[in-house]
């Protein structure tokens, strides 16, 4: 199967600038991401629906990718070093819209203002983890989830320094991975991280150097693939 999102024979995503050098595209993405984030902040963005997170992605990446804000059309996998090379079972492309709608139904049931501090952090972690598990986009899911976290906390009177999320981005992504393992999910890493973000305490280099015994500094970005990895479990929750 051919990945329609990349230039033939490469891992470089097709983009509005026709840049086919991965490093150059990465730098352009970083600039547009920051511009989009600042535009969202200035607009007093508010999340009323899970589908508003698609607008986050569109704002962050529309200057680079024509498909920004649109659910991916293909199934994807990604080797995760923290899982010994296995991939998270992301939602099948054909089920993304339904999965988002189901999560949106849950989201709208909650009155966040009635929750105490611990319950609020727990619920924020739940929704960002579930959204990331759906992995609705071909690229930019973790960055979009980090912005989702920022605004969901902000609108519930929790102050988060976004630069801190970025600084510990590798830890944050691995914490999301460990929170998406079905019955073996481990939420404690994500929960502690978000708690520390909200209280602005306990951040130090040593604390976030490892996660579940793995050295965070050794994490390196790997590309998504459309070829099912040999180590992936057969998805048992997402419907075709």
Picking from 42, 37, 225, 6, the residue whose alpha carbon sits closest to that of residue 143 is 37
Q: Where are the domains of the chain?
A: 22-218
DSSP state letter for 11: S
The answer to whether the CB of 136 falls within 8 A of the CB of 91 is yes
SS3 of residue 203 by DSSP: coil
Picking from 96, 99, 38, 109, the residue whose alpha carbon sits closest to that of residue 67 is 96
User: What was the pLDDT predicted at 218?
Assistant: 81
User: What was the pLDDT predicted at 238?
Assistant: 52
Domain 22-218 sits in CATH at 1.10.3290.10
Picking from 56, 26, 64, the residue whose alpha carbon sits closest to that of residue 39 is 56
User: What was the pLDDT predicted at 240?
Assistant: 40
User: What was the pLDDT predicted at 234?
Assistant: 53
User: What was the pLDDT predicted at 235?
Assistant: 52
C-alpha 14/C-alpha 74 separation (Å) is 15
Per residue of the chain (240 residues), what is the pLDDT tens digit?
799 999 999 999 999 999 999 999 999 999 999 999 999 999 999 999 999 999 999 999 999 999 999 999 999 999 998 998 899 999 999 999 999 999 999 999 989 989 998 999 999 999 999 999 999 999 999 999 999 999 999 999 998 889 999 999 999 999 999 999 977 889 999 999 999 998 877 777 688 899 998 999 888 888 899 988 877 655 555 544
Question: Looking up tokens 């902000």, which residue turns up?
Answer: 154
The answer to whether the CB of 134 falls within 8 A of the CB of 100 is yes
CB within 8 A of 44, min separation 6: which ones? none
- Three-state SS string over 125-158 comes to HHHHHHHHHHCCCCCCHHHHHHHHHHHHHHCCCC
C-alpha 91/C-alpha 72 separation (Å) is 10
């Amino acid at each position: 199967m051919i990945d329609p999102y990349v230039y033939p024979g490469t891992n470089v995503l097709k983009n509005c600038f026709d840049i086919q050098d991965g490093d150059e595209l990465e730098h352009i993405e970083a600039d547009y991401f920051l511009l989009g984030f600042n535009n969202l902040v200035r607009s007093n963005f508010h999340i009323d629906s899970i589908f508003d997170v698609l607008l986050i992605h569109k704002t962050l990446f529309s200057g680079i990718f024509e498909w920004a804000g649109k659910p991916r059309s293909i199934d994807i996998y990604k080797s995760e070093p923290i899982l010994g090379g296995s991939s998270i079972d992301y939602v099948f492309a054909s089920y993304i819209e339904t999965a988002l709608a189901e999560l949106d139904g849950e989201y709208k049931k909650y009155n966040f203002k009635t929750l105490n501090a611990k319950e609020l952090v727990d619920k924020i972690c739940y929704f960002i983890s579930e959204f990331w598990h759906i992995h609705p986009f071909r690229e930019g899911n973790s960055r979009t989830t980090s912005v989702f976290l920022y605004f969901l906390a902000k609108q519930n009177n929790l102050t988060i320094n976004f630069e801190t999320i970025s600084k510990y981005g590798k830890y944050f992504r691995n914490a999301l991975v460990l929170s998406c393992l079905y019955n073996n999910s481990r939420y404690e890493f994500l929960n502690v991280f978000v708690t520390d973000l909200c209280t602005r305490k306990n951040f130090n280099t040593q604390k976030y150097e490892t996660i579940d015994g793995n050295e965070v500094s050794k994490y390196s970005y790997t590309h998504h693939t459309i070829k099912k990895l040999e180590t992936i479990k057969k998805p048992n929750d997402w419907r075709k």
